[in-house]
């Protein structure tokens, strides 16, 4: 418990530094948030135009399709809030600052994974939550159980996202390449904006069970709609644990291969 309190204090300290750094460019904050909001509503309007012509996409109506899109934004935004520091990890490796981080008396993930909370995306998370609740309230037959499973699977998706980001950190040590790996992850994750039924096999199966974008983005809305069988709940939780385990093993391997700056 004492170690947890200590880690929480360190996390808050790093978050405070990140907040101060964010507000150094106030004009940039306005443009950044405005651009994010415009992108969100333009794509939302795109979904509305599609469904205004077809009424149903792969068996889902507009409200359900909107919840798929909103769930994607919730998970994607939350992961960016927590793991923004991963985008800066390459600089730590090539400059030698990683040496200093590894020798400090706390776990390096507190700095390289969680050390740069993105407060700009945090401001956007609350409107996304409000809009999601608005559309969820319009669904018939929503129960407390389905809502609880939805929240559990969203948290499970964030656990999967954590594993992916740890994999990126490990690959950053082994290859000093972070940006391209993150862009690949971001591009693949955008497949979850729509219900995965729009993709044909074997693409749908591959990006559901091998690279679990479908489990991350599609399973929570399906749980809310009560369309997910019990076996898939178990599969999603087990898969997240496997990804975390493998990512930590790769991180340990990468640290053993790390030769320090100039090595």
Tens-digit pLDDT string for the chain (263 aa): 788 889 889 888 888 888 777 676 666 667 667 777 777 777 667 666 665 655 556 678 888 888 998 999 999 999 999 999 999 999 999 888 999 999 998 999 999 999 988 887 887 888 889 888 988 988 888 899 999 999 999 999 999 999 999 999 999 999 988 988 898 898 889 888 888 888 888 888 888 888 899 999 999 999 999 999 889 999 999 999 999 999 999 999 999 998 876 55
Q: For residue 77, give both structure tokens.
A: 């935004």
Residues 87/182, Cβ–Cβ less than 8 Å: yes
Q: Is 245 helix (H, G, I), strand (E, B) or coil?
A: helix
Distances (CA, A) of 246 to 7, 173, 188, 243, 250: 23, 16, 20, 5, 6
Query: Residue 173 contacts by C-beta under 8 Å, 6 or more apart in sequence?
Result: 93, 98, 254, 255, 257, 258
Query: Residue 48 contacts by C-beta under 8 Å, 6 or more apart in sequence?
Result: 62
The pLDDT assigned to 47 comes to 63
Distances (CA, A) of 230 to 42, 210, 227: 36, 20, 10
The pLDDT assigned to 261 comes to 60
Task: Describe the crossing of helices 2-22 and 119-137 by its angle, rounded to 10 degrees.
Answer: 100
The pLDDT assigned to 128 comes to 86
Q: What is the CA radius of gyration of the chain?
A: 20
The DSSP secondary-structure symbol of 218 reads T
Task: Describe the crossing of helices 230-257 and 144-175 by its angle, rounded to 10 degrees.
Answer: 20
Query: Residue 150 contacts by C-beta under 8 Å, 6 or more apart in sequence?
Result: 220, 221, 223, 224
């Amino acid at each position: 418990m004492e170690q947890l309190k200590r880690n929480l204090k360190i996390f808050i300290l790093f978050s405070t530094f990140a907040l101060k750094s964010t507000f150094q460019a106030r004009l940039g904050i306005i443009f950044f948030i405005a651009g994010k909001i415009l992108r969100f509503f333009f794509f939302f309007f795109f979904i509305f135009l599609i469904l205004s012509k077809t009424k149903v996409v792969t068996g889902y109506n507009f409200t359900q399709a909107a919840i798929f899109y909103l769930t994607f934004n919730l998970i994607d935004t939350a992961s960016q809030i927590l793991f923004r520091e991963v985008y800066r990890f390459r600089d730590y490796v090539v400059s030698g600052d990683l040496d200093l981080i590894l020798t400090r008396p706390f776990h390096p993930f507190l700095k390289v994974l969680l050390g740069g909370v993105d407060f700009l995306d945090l401001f956007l998370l609350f409107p996304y939550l409000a809009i999601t609740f608005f559309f969820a309230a319009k669904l018939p037959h929503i129960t407390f159980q389905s809502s609880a499973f939805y929240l559990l699977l969203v948290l499970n998706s964030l656990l999967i996202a954590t594993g992916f980001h740890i994999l990126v950190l490990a690959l950053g040590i082994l290859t000093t390449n972070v940006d391209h790996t993150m862009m690949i992850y971001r591009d693949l994750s955008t497949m979850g904006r729509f219900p995965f039924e729009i993709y044909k096999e074997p693409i749908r199966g591959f990006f559901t069970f091998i690279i679990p974008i479908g489990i991350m983005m599609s399973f929570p809305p399906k749980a809310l709609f009560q369309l997910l069988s019990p076996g898939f709940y178990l599969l999603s939780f087990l898969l997240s644990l496997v990804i975390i385990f493998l990512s930590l093993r790769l991180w340990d391997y990468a640290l053993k291969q790390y030769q320090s700056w100039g090595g």
